[in-house]
Amino acid sequence: MPTLHETLQRLPANVRHALIDELQGLNGHQQDELPPLPDEALLVALKSAINGVTERKRRRVVITGIGAVTPVGNTATATWAALVAGQSGITAVTQFDATPYDSHVAGEIKDFNPESRIARKEVRRMARCSQISVVAAHEAVEDAGLDFKMEDPTRMGVILGTGVGGQDMFIDMIKSSVTTGKMRSRPVDVINGLPNMAAFHVSNVFGFRGPLNTVVTACAAGTQAIGVGTEEIRRGAADVMLVGGTEAMISEMFFATFEAMRAVTTQNDDPPRASRPFDASRDGFVIGEGTAIFVLESLEHALARGARIYAEVLGWGESADAYHIAAPDPEAKGAALCMHNALADAGISPDEVCYINAHAAGTPLGDAHETKGIKDVFGPRAYEIPISSTKSMVGHLFGGAGAVEALACVYAVHTDTIHPTINYRTPDPECDLDYVPNVARHTQVNVALSNSFGLGGQNACLIVGKYRP
């Protein structure tokens, strides 16, 4: 018969790690293993660890504020109104001369004035992805009605996702070296170009001194950041988290790169029609930029201050394809596993999902493989679930994509409205589900699933639902 110590070694990982945390410091123990203590001491610590794990799982997380800067609107409400109206934000590229490249279209932010929220001196020090993040964060905080005089800044944190961060700072330095023969840099240009600087600037503006983190998982980063922020609240490390994703990578470097990969669309004649997820004529994605930021709170914290609740974060999941640096797994095993993991974390069945916001970037392989993954998870019911692609209107925002798509899910749950997939004209036999073509749909949405499948086979899924007391 195994000893108690041997039995405890076989506990589920989350309980075993909680138990080890309880025992840290006993007899100088600082290792990731159970120390050789008497059975009585181990049992007392085990009871405390199980109570802690159970309590963390009970801690519910809700969304109380939203901010956004996107190709279709410079606020969250403007973005949502444009999505419901089926308004495309994709235009001819204006940020550089795109004529040497095959793709001439992009989802650019329009009429953005960072000085509406940020001092001019600070604007010059920030990469574009940081600027849009700070502006969106201001909107989210105001939307949530947070009163910082009543809050403990050590219980408030920031987690943002991005793919490349402030690459514009580095590109400007490279251009200076070409024109002058010497690379020139202001004192903090390199630092402000780092991926974690957007999260720093948001944290610094509001004085949050709790958890601060940056998720860099390409196209899955925004979704994963929301999930990680949820965990910080679940485990009791914070009461309030600002979370989301951001990206501003419309540049010659990325156009050249994705052109070489044959990943971007070359349908330039009618820019608003260029992004065509699930349509048989799709030929690649449209590069875009943007951000969405959310205020997450523990349910107890939100109720105590009388906050309006948009939706509840029910669960999230992550997985890896372990297949290819860029190509999706044709069996969609990683995508399906990620959806299963999110459902398990939310404690719901596939039958409870009312809407899916698809990753759906408009690539021939990606959209077909995601369709297969949805069928593998939901079976025959896959044909009954409304599915739409936000990228049909804003393009692919990379690290910001999952956050803006989470915005679509939160508003879908809050308003019982599903935005359409625009530019859907020619059905593809491999993509034969209900993609809410071209016109928004008003229907009850109790639970929404958002898919984000990133380069490097890094996947993240988020599930939000109506708040039920």
Residue 201: active-site member: no
- The identity of residue 8, as a single letter, is L
Structure tokens at 298: 């523990």
Beta-carbon contacts of residue 1 (< 8 Å; ≥ 6 apart): none
Alpha-carbon distance 267 to 293, whole Å?
A: 31
Distances 95 to 2, 119, 248, 384 between C-alpha atoms, Å:
67, 23, 11, 41
Beta-carbon contacts of residue 9 (< 8 Å; ≥ 6 apart): 16, 34
Q: How many residues does the chain have?
A: 469
- The residue from 369, 396, 414, 419 that is catalytic is 396
Three-state DSSP string of the chain: CCCHHHHHCCCCHHHHHHHHHHHCCHHHCCCCCCCCCCHHHHHHHHHHHHHHHHHHHHCCEEEEEEEEEECCECCHHHHHHHHHHCCCCCEECCCCCCCCCCCCEEECCCCCCHHHCCCHHHHHHCCHHHHHHHHHHHHHHHHHCCCHHHCCHHHEEEEEECCCCCHHHHHHHHHHHHHHCCCCCCCCHHHHCCCCHHHHHHHHHHCCCCCEEEECCHHHHHHHHHHHHHHHHHCCCCCEEEEEEEEECCCHHHHHHHHHCCCECCCCCCHHHCCCCCCCCCCCECEEEEEEEEEEEEHHHHHHCCCCCCEEEEEEEEEECCCCCCCCCCCCHHHHHHHHHHHHHHCCCHHHCCEEECCCCCCHHHHHHHHHHHHHHHHHHHHHCCEECCHHHHCECHHHHHHHHHHHHHHHHHHCEECCECCCCCCECCECCCCCECCCEECCCCEEEEEEEECCCEEEEEEEECCCC
Note whether 404 and 292 are within 8 A (CB): yes
- The residue from 219, 338, 354, 431 that is catalytic is 219
Residue 219: active-site member: yes
Residue 396: active-site member: yes
Distances 42 to 1, 35, 293, 391, 414 between C-alpha atoms, Å:
18, 9, 43, 52, 46
- The residue from 138, 301, 359, 414 that is catalytic is 359
- The identity of residue 418, as a single letter, is I
**Residues identified as active-site:** 219, 359, 396
